[in-house]
Structure 1
Amino acid sequence: MLNVLLADDETRTLHHLMTGVPWFQLGMEVCCTASNGSEALAFIESHPIDILITDIRMPGMDGLELCQRVRERYHDMSIILLTGYADFEYARRGIELQVTDYCLKPIDTEQLTATLRRAVRQGYGRSSSRSDALLDLIEEGNSQEITRTFSDLGIKGDSVYIAGSIGVHNIEQAIGAQFSCKVGRHKYLYFSGHPFHTQEASHIIAFSKKRSGIGLFPTSVPYGQTARAISDVLVMTYQYFINGTSTLCERLVDGPLTQELFRQLPKKGKEPGQLKAWLHDLSQANCSLLFNIRTAFRFVNQVLLSPAMQNSGEGCFDSFEQMAADYSCLSNLLEELSAAVYTQEPRPAPPFEGPDSFLSIMSYLNAHYDQTVSLKRVSEELHLNASYISQLIKNETGLNYTQYITELRIEKAKELLTNTKLSLAEISEAVGFNDYFYFIKKFKREVGVTPGKFLQHEKGTGDMPDRERE
């Protein structure tokens, strides 16, 4: 949601604006009203505002002076002037101050709504840019720049509260967030200079109509530690997958019980009968006390690589996001793993499927790389043996299945970075990475720089490392 501030000394006008404009439908929220420029400026200096709608003639600091003071520091804010006078001098001064638009009084709400729609398009573009810049700084770990950026967003001090959500939307005001950014499909991060509203977060989860999760980091985080805290918060949002129901998570599940499972796994994984029974028992256990999604991801992949599974690694998950996309909950996944253990006969060798199989696989992957394309799903869609698909891709490309998908997605991301104005979060989602930070990590590993640095190079404003020039 874009934050709007209304400034007018006429109570009737403020009431008309508050009730006559479909703010929610426009993706906006009026977070403050002010009766003069001084009140408006004081609020702007301590809260992030995307759109300022102000009357020109107000007592004390008038609208034009307010616009001038705002423009000196907040270059990206959209400003709409309200005036009862079609005065050229006002128009000339407004142009100098880079005012977005005007509306004459008495206010025509349809005209104002059309003006606001234009401001929404501009505002979301700037919001995405701010999100990209902030997340890039956090990834680089530049504490000084992170501090400055949070200060510009109205979050003062030397630490920040961090929360995350998946599957729920437009909850910023309810939980008390001062800034939010999208980091994946239906996935958001929230930042604030004060603790979040836990009771409101609980209410959101309790009445969520679909599986969803909210993670609240328990303490404020020094700016130098935000990257690690964000990683933990995003893990906490996925606790719904572990629990099998919508969940508010305020601490990472990780301790002696989890460590004991990893200690037992090497021995259990050698004997098919033991592994099969153990996985079945775990599927019936209270997994919320045993795993978070990060440890569950490690555990499941180690199970898949254990000798009893007779697995060469082709069925391993590439990320915990993929695991949550493919299965409704951890218990179901563990039960399927138990059923997949071969206790009697060795797993049969994959049959040869014919010379056209490789082309069919490539065609399918190129058409669906932006979706969840686990080896299991591709095998089911194309009616081909999973081991055969994996081996064929390895033989033809020299890459394993996961490596091929990653390279395909990174190449598509580079095309979007070069040829579109999409934000990094939108690009990561468009090419099938459902998590912003996972996308950044994979892109940097493949290309040698972050997507932001790559884009700077493409625009001629930055250098690439030697590995990309070669």
Structure 2
Amino acid sequence: MEILKVVIADDEVRICQLIQALVDWDSLGMKVVGVAHNGEEACETVQNCQPDILITDIRMPGCSGLELVQRVKDADPDLEVVIISGYAHFEYAQQAISYGVGYYLLKPVNKGELTETLQKLQKRIRERKESRQSHQELVNRSRRDDDHLRANLLHRLLDQPEQAVSEEALTGIYHLQVSPGVFQAFCVKADYGRENRGTHTDVLMEKVEEVLERNLKAQGRELVLLTREDYCYGILNYPEKEKEQIRRSLKSSLTQLDIQKNMFQRVSFSIAAGAAYKEACRLGESMQETRKLIQERLVRGNGRLLEHLGQPSDLPESQLLNDYLRKISHAVEIFSIPNGTEAVRELQEAVNHQPGVQGWQILELIYGAADIFAASIQIQSRTEVLDDFRKQCGQCGKAEEIFGCLVDFQEKYLKEQAERYENDTIRPVRKAKEYIQNHYSDPITLEEVSEQVGLSSAYFSVLFKKTEGEGFAKYLINIRMEQAKLLLRETNLPVTEICRKVGYNDLKHFTHTFEKAAGVKPSTYRKLYG
């Protein structure tokens, strides 16, 4: 099996060394072929080594991480990039996503998250290479298998929109009868609701294809359809003068599909139509607009033809997710389902107060929140669990149902965690941790907390260390230091005030303790991450 090549770029030598040491590269079938410490060097290393994966800091001298990503992705769109970012540079990571970066990690780099990300990339790269190889073999072996080739075209437009499809490819590779006119993508979505997943999905989606074929197929038009679960994607090539006729045909299809409610119960349909372009190479754009438009049913309502996406809202996704992270981390710490639900409701309220939010933005925000929760609670088989969660969200036709999915998702795993740890041995420690979370700013002692949970201080001390893997004093220090970091990053409070707020009266002692925990003095930490 081909070894995947990796290049690491970070201006901090120790970070590069840490990444190299954290991962068992051989077991992943990977090899680090280059290390760079500034943007220009990284760009040259990528050009010379031709890696499959680039792991890079978002901020570097010479050529920033963002410039580096843009340059290397322009040269090789298939290059997979993992961004490493501090909290203070979270918005840069989001900008990198617009260049095609799908993965980012927050500093300090965690071994488990890094390994899991690399495993995802390994699978993605292998599947892409196998898919291309299989596709080429299929083309060579069965050029007349038009149905399969056309399905492959839809898969390509959906999964690799950045790779433009030329008119020559449409006719030569995919055997379409291309005519002068316009090219347009569209999508039909069937919604069953959160609790009413249909058992006859295949039959229903066959009916969808029949209706579309009947209404859209005509002389001088080319129609290609592909069904994926509850979605039916399509592309059209037709004379430009028929634009309005196509629109009427799509609306007519929606009306005819609505009749299926009587047979399949509680199913509703929506149709999204992307822009029509004269150039075949812009089919990918039309398809991506269609995929975003179909999510507009979450805010505009289903049962309608969705057109004209418009400009997205300035949704402060990174800030909302940071707020959610703080709240859900506390809920996970004390296994509190009500606190978890409150975190979702506050997220929902913030979205509801943001004007012009589009459906796809809500969906991406919920996916991001689910990723954060799954990481916080350390769910086993996280990838599979999150895939199932996304499928459940895909069954929803309203925004409130999407938020309800997240509430149910949290409740299930918080309940499992609570049941796993809620026994006579663990309960006192959980209560103690909750008490510490609520009183870390006070001069609390081991004896005080022991009394709160009804145990002798000696027994509680042993129980706490056995359960948590660290002593009471160290745990309390860690809680206070994490809160101090948060205040340094997100407030302008003087260090002396932060010292008091996290339970210290002696500034010198606080500074020494913080430097020992964070590796830098409080003032330096604020400069780096604030």
Give the TM interval when normalised to the shorter protein. 0.3 to 0.5
So what's the TM-score if we normalise by structure 2? Answer: 0.34
Which of the two has greater helix per residue? 2
So what's the TM-score if we normalise by structure 1? Answer: 0.38
